[in-house]
């Protein structure tokens, strides 16, 4: 039985695709890549597939890129709205479950957006490593004294699915975020949801 619902932030609770596009465009000259690629095509790929596979970047360059991109994305996501219908879903879940957020975005940005939307959650864990979410998830469960079976994670990316697999946590993948529905479906999440309200049917 689910006791806690943990949300990703970017692309799951807020519409942050434009924020990532803006940040990527600003850094393109500095890191030497083109931003002329089709957005729909990019949504079908994971970040490592692009950075390591197509651009053939070293791990050092990837780390430097992430460090440069974080503040730009944080600045842009402050302005982004909640996904339509998600605010009501979060408020409904709060009545029965522990509801929190685990994200690579900063805690300060999340708090600012939640305050603007007048939404409160039980906890916010921000600043997690882009490719280390599984470790952060395990630590969070230990701190909250929850087992993997107690938790449902809600995210929008392939890396969210992979992190949940490694942590033994079930995941509901949303189709309105950074990765395309077909790619998410191929990764076989526990649940695939197309509208926020569908989450309420999963968590009963």
Helix axes 158-167, 133-144, angle to 10 degrees: 50
Q: Is 15 a catalytic residue?
A: no
CB atoms inside a 10 Å sphere around CB 54: 12
Collapse the DSSP code of 188 into the 3-class scheme (helix H, G, I; strand E, B; otherwise coil) and give the result: coil
Q: By C-alpha distance, which of 36, 31, 95 is closest to 65?
A: 31
Distance separating alpha carbons of residues 176 and 195, to the nearest angstrom? 8
Is residue 70 a contact partner of residue 95, using CB atoms and an 8 Å limit?
A: no
- Is residue 80 classed as helix, strand or coil in its secondary structure? coil
Name the region of 188 (left: φ>0; alpha: ψ -120 to 50; beta: rest).
Answer: left
Rounded Cα gap, residues 149 and 35, in angstroms: 41
d(CA 49, CA 66): 15
Joined together, the tokens standing for residue 1 give 């039985």
Q: Which one from 8, 156, 160, 180 is the annotated catalytic residue?
A: 8
Active site residues: 8
């Amino acid at each position: 039985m689910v006791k806690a619902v943990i949300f990703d932030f970017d692309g799951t609770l807020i519409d942050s695709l434009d924020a990532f596009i803006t940040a990527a465009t600003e850094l393109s000259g500095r890191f030497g890549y083109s931003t002329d690629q089709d957005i729909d095509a990019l949504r079908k790929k994971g970040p490592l597939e692009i950075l390591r596979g197509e651009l053939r970047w070293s791990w050092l360059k990837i780390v430097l890129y992430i460090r440069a991109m974080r503040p730009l994305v944080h600045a842009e996501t402050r302005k982004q709205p909640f996904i339509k219908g998600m605010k009501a879903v979060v408020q409904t879940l709060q009545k029965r479950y522990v509801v929190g957020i685990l994200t690579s975005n900063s805690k300060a940005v999340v708090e600012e957006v939640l305050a603007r939307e007048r939404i409160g959650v039980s906890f916010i864990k921000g600043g997690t490593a882009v490719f280390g979410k599984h470790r952060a998830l395990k630590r969070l469960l230990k701190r909250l004294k929850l087992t993997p079976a107690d938790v449902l994670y809600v995210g929008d990316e392939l890396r969210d699915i992979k992190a949940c697999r490694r942590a033994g946590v079930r995941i509901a993948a949303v189709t309105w975020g950074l990765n395309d529905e077909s790619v998410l479906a191929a990764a076989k999440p526990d649940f695939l949801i197309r509208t926020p309200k569908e989450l309420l049917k999963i968590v009963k």
